[in-house]
Amino acid sequence: MNGQKKRQLKTYLILAVLSALLARVFCSDADSHPTTDVCSTNTILPGPKGEKGERGNPGEIGKLGKEGPMGMKGEKGDPADVGDQGMIGKIGPIGTKGEKGCKGLSGPAGGKGKAGSVCDCGRYRKFVGQLEVNVARLKTSLKFVKNVIAGIRETDEKYYYIVKEERSYRDALTHCRIRGGTLAMPRDEASNSLIADYISKSGLFRVFIGVNDVEKEGQFMYTDNTPLQNYSSWKESEPNDASGHEDCVEMLSSGAWNDVECHLTIYFVCEFMKKKKTDLQRA
């Protein structure tokens, strides 16, 4: 059986079923109208072929088809446009040292030198060296004479010298002055203890120093008429003006001061200012 006949038979069957349904609707007893021939005959024979139906509406859009196979490799594309200029690169490592250059041209001749001296510098330096040795020896000798033979003591600023001659205060002061100094005036602990040590090491007990209250009783001054300031070294209970005439001052080997009578004759200690040294003399 071909497709066309199949469709024809299908159409007949549909028409027959429709006829039966129509007969039941129009031939019912409930209906007061009389039945027609169609109803009475109740045939199922096919009618004549109808005319061709109208053209149907277009179908809905079909589903998306399956993904096709991979296409062939395309041809190589055209070269792209030239890109922008890149950033400047990092500084490279230090290069190896270049080869030594050629020797330069000679410079212009220098001016004429001064006339040579007649000094034999080698001999001169030797002589100066010998002088330095001699100066060092003289310094050592001088120190020995000052400190051992003469028994002089010194600080940076002054020399002290004990005169082992018994004199009154007035004569002692004159003695020191004639020699360019004065009776010692200890103005601080350092110089006072230096003189005290000098007295005791000399095996002595007492010496006159340059302090008195001749001018005004009870008001002791240095012999250069400067007042006692921040320093004094009175022995305990001194000055006591024991005899009522103790206007001059002695230093004991302990460094302690005691007021005594000025006409007492005892040893005394002079002081001499050192001349200020230049840098060259100090070296």
How do strand 257-260 and strand 158-167 relate by DSSP bridges?
Answer: unpaired
Please state the closest distance from residue 215 (CB atom) to Ca ion, in A.
Answer: 18
Please state the closest distance from residue 199 (CB atom) to Ca ion, in A.
Answer: 17
Beta bridge partners, 154, equal 159
In the bound state with ligand MMA, the residue whose beta carbon lies nearer, of 11 and 232, is 232
Q: How many angstroms separate the Cα of 115 from the Cα of each of 50, 119, 125, 216?
A: 153, 12, 21, 75
In the bound state with ligand MMA, the residue whose beta carbon lies nearer, of 213 and 259, is 259
* Best CA proximity match to 174, nearest among 260, 250, 268, 253: 268
Count, residues near ligand MMA per rule CB under 6 A: 7
Classify 221 as helix, strand or coil. strand
DSSP 160: E
In the bound state with ligand MMA, the residue whose beta carbon lies nearer, of 134 and 240, is 240
Binding site partner of 142, from Ca ion, ligand MMA, none, Cβ cut-off 5-8 A by kind: none
Interaction of residue 258 with ligand MMA, rule CB under 6 A = yes
Please state the closest distance from residue 273 (CB atom) to ligand MMA, in A.
Answer: 30
Q: How far apart are CA 18 and CA 278, in angstroms?
A: 155
Please state the closest distance from residue 167 (CB atom) to Ca ion, in A.
Answer: 19
- The label of the residue with tokens 């809905």 reads 60
Longest dimension (CA), the chain: 198
Interaction of residue 213 with ligand MMA, rule CB under 6 A = no
Please state the closest distance from residue 206 (CB atom) to ligand MMA, in A.
Answer: 9
- Residues of span 216-245 touching ligand MMA by CB under 6 A: 238, 240, 242
Closest-by-Cβ residue to Ca ion is 259
- Residues of span 243-282 touching Ca ion by CB under 5 A: 246, 258-259
- Secondary-structure breakdown of the chain: helix, strand, coil percentages, each rounded to the nearest 5: 30, 15, 55
Q: Which of 242, 245, 254, 263 touches Ca ion by CB under 5 A?
A: 242
Count, residues near Ca ion per rule CB under 5 A: 5
> Would you give the distance in Å from CA 114 to the centre of its chain?
52
How does 95-125 read in b/e, with b if 16+ C-beta sit within 10 Å?
A: eeeeeeeeeeeeeeeeeeeeeeeeeeeeeee
Please state the closest distance from residue 196 (CB atom) to Ca ion, in A.
Answer: 18
In the bound state with ligand MMA, the residue whose beta carbon lies nearer, of 23 and 183, is 183
Binding site partner of 213, from ligand MMA, Ca ion, none, Cβ cut-off 5-8 A by kind: none
Interaction of residue 260 with ligand MMA, rule CB under 6 A = yes
Q: DSSP alpha helices (H): ranges in the chain?
A: 3-26, 37-41, 121-144, 169-178, 189-201, 279-282
Please state the closest distance from residue 224 (CB atom) to Ca ion, in A.
Answer: 22
Binding site partner of 23, from ligand MMA, Ca ion, none, Cβ cut-off 5-8 A by kind: none
Q: How far apart are CA 45 and CA 16, in angstroms?
A: 7
- The label of the residue with tokens 């792209």 reads 80
**Interacting stretch for Ca ion, rule CB under 5 A, among 144-152, 188-196, 238-246, 248-256?**
238-246
Q: How far apart are CA 100 and CA 97, in angstroms?
A: 9
- Residues of the shown chain interacting with Ca ion in the complex, contacts defined by CB under 5 A: 240, 242, 246, 258-259
**Could you list the residues that contact ligand MMA (CB under 6 A)?**
238, 240, 242, 246, 258-260
